[in-house]
Amino acid sequence: MASYVIRGARPLQGEVSISGSKNAALGIIPAAMLLDGPCRIENLPDIADVNILLEICRSIGAQVLQHPDGSVDIDPRTIETSEATHEKARSIRASYYLMGALLGRVRKATLFMPGGCDFGTRPIDQHIKGFEAMGATVGIEYGRIRLEAERLAGEHIFLDVVSVGATINLMIAAVKAEGVTVIENAAREPHIVDVANFLNTMGANVRGAGTDVIKIVGVPVLPGGCTYSVIPDQIEAGTYMLAAAATGGDVVVRNLIPKHMEPLTAKMAEIGIALEEGDDWIRVLPGGERAAANVKTMPYPGFPTDLQPQTMVLLCLCEGVSRMTENVWESRFQFVDDLKMMGANVTTASHTAIVEGPVKLTGATVTAHDLRAGAAMVLAGLAAEGTTEVCDVRIIERGYENFVGKLRALGADIARVEP
């Protein structure tokens, strides 16, 4: 398994450009399978999850041509099966958006039950509730989920839980259903808006994305034939902002949407990190006192759960006692033991972590438990005295394009080593 070796305690300096949003791309690519024509998607991040999802689309017959500039030409008219059971589909959770896409396209879909990072149980009951409301029958056997609908009809669906995945999956399925679908208690993340904007660019009629009520008027044909560019990655941007703050660096994070960063910029300002903001960039400045703060993860526009581990690293370096509450996932503190090996003073109980600081982080050999926890271990290594080895980094490379290259360009002493 590949590792990163980091020699820390070097303030990051310079500029970093943010890539396309992983979680938008993972919704847009399956949505493209609905089209009755070709499309071009630009600004896709070159990360494992995107490349695997494109491979899965090829495996069901879609034409997928990737270009070196990160754009891809897709033509789903050659799809020849509703069974997306490519072995790699087991490895990425987002393949489950093909349920909505294939139901919408051919009224049938068969996939493996989804996996994904381990944050405790990750049910899909809300997806199934919505599909059944629209007329699909859903069966689960031998680890596969089979959906079929004589007729897919628009429905008024009230989600019991604010779910990004269910919101996107049901929105995709509703685009070519008969009649009007309303999704209440919908998630509002920026990547949901991006998937809706992609669908509308291709001829769909989706209104209200970004609010908690999304209305989709089904259309018989989705012509496509257009080009769409994926928004910048909110979580990648936040990761670099936190890396700059944790190392006391001076970094301009470019090609981001400041509005999407507000939950983080507000919290960083509360801690005492000096920030400057432009149209599409945020500069994190060094100096200033760093005071403890309380953080509660919530669905957007609340504080993103996907920045929770990375933020906890910064809280370790802040003066006082901070409280981190994880409200989205059942269990997302697995990385804390590794952080404590580096000198962190964190006590966890159920959904809350108490962080006492400031501590001096020191290098150790740690593991990337999941995508964002792995990124947090890198941030801790960048801040720590001495050498840190982060093992099993492939999980990080599922979601961060050119992570080592971008950090080295900021002056980090980091190298990727194969055993």
Q: What angle do CA 286, 335, 253 make, to 5 degrees?
A: 30
CA neighbours closer than 13 Å in the CB half-sphere of residue 189:
27
Query: Measured at CB, which residue is nearest to ligand EPZ?
Result: 165
SS (H, E, C) 241-285: HHHHHHCCCEEEEECCCHHHHHHHHHHHHHHCCEEEECCCEEEEE
Asked if 169 is part of the footprint of ligand EPZ (rule: CB under 6 A), the reply reads: no
Distance CA 168, CA 187 (A): 9
Which residue in 39, 117, 316, 318 is the catalytic one?
A: 117
Asked if 125 is part of the footprint of ligand EPZ (rule: CB under 6 A), the reply reads: yes
State which residue, 219 or 378, has the beta carbon closest to ligand EPZ.
378
- Judged by CB under 6 A, the residue of 1, 65, 113, 161 near ligand EPZ is 161
Asked if 397 is part of the footprint of ligand EPZ (rule: CB under 6 A), the reply reads: no
Distance CA 173, CA 211 (A): 19
Asked if 328 is part of the footprint of ligand EPZ (rule: CB under 6 A), the reply reads: yes
Distance CA 266, CA 241 (A): 12
Scan for tokens 């087991």, then name that residue. 90
Q: Which amino acid is at 23?
A: N
State which residue, 4 or 300, has the beta carbon closest to ligand EPZ.
300
Asked if 29 is part of the footprint of ligand EPZ (rule: CB under 6 A), the reply reads: no
Q: Give the Å distances, CA to CA, from 67 to 17, 43, 194, 197.
A: 20, 11, 21, 22
Asked if 371 is part of the footprint of ligand EPZ (rule: CB under 6 A), the reply reads: yes
Q: Is 335 exposed, middle or buried (0-12, 13-18, 19+ CB in 10 A)?
A: buried
State which residue, 239 or 265, has the beta carbon closest to ligand EPZ.
239
**Binding range to ligand EPZ, per CB under 6 A, among 4-12, 18-26, 254-262, 384-392:** 18-26
Q: Which residues of 148-185 are buried (b: 16+ CB within 10 A; e: fewer)?
A: bbeebbbbebebeebbbbbbbbbbbbbbbbeeebbbeb
Q: Give the Å distances, CA to CA, from 404 to 161, 219, 248, 410.
A: 36, 44, 19, 10
Asked if 94 is part of the footprint of ligand EPZ (rule: CB under 6 A), the reply reads: yes
Q: For residues 212-231, which are near ligand EPZ according to CB under 6 A? A: none
Say whether 39 is catalytic. no
State which residue, 44 or 117, has the beta carbon closest to ligand EPZ.
117
CB 55, min distance to ligand EPZ, A: 16
- Judged by CB under 6 A, the residue of 4, 112, 240, 329 near ligand EPZ is 329
- Judged by CB under 6 A, the residue of 155, 306, 338, 397 near ligand EPZ is 306
State which residue, 79 or 94, has the beta carbon closest to ligand EPZ.
94
**Binding range to ligand EPZ, per CB under 6 A, among 37-45, 119-127, 277-285, 385-393:** 119-127
Rounded to the nearest 10 degrees, the angle between the axes of helix 371-383 and helix 308-316 is 20
Residues designated catalytic: 117
Interface residues with ligand EPZ (CB under 6 A)? Answer: 22-23, 26, 93-94, 117, 122-127, 161, 163-166, 187, 305-306, 328-329, 371-372, 399
